[in-house]
Structure 1
Amino acid sequence: MARGRIGKGAASEEESTMKKVKEWSTWTLKKAKVVVHYGFIPVVIIIGMNSEPKPQLYQLLTPV
């Protein structure tokens, strides 16, 4: 009668699954970082252009 022992096959399968999850999450976070980095300013401009009163593009881009 086994008392909750996990065989080597099950342990290595679990490690393999955890490794894949870690690799996937790392890959996803790297891609998300790039998307946020290059997408933030355009999103701010789009939101600014859709607000009231409607500013011109040069008004959004100048610091005054």
Structure 2
Amino acid sequence: MVTSIRIYAEISGEDLFITIADDGVGISPENEEKIFERGFGKNTGLGLFLVREILSFTGMSIHE
């Protein structure tokens, strides 16, 4: 169960890094890239897949 969420922003050169962290159990290393695949997850499996697709059009990226 997640009890806290932290959001950090950091500028490095011309890049902006936004980090969102919580105190949940986390994601197993073998699933770190799978969470961005279409159909992976407990519901539709579209959430993070669509986020990554949309960000790719803008030159931005998302990583676990």
* Same fold? TM cut 0.5: no
Q: TM-score, normalised by structure 2?
A: 0.25
Q: TM-score, normalised by structure 1?
A: 0.25
Structure number with greater CO (CA < 8 Å, separation at least 6) is 2
- Which structure's residues are more often strand, by fraction? 2
- Which structure's residues are more often helix, by fraction? 1
Structure with higher Rg: it is: 1
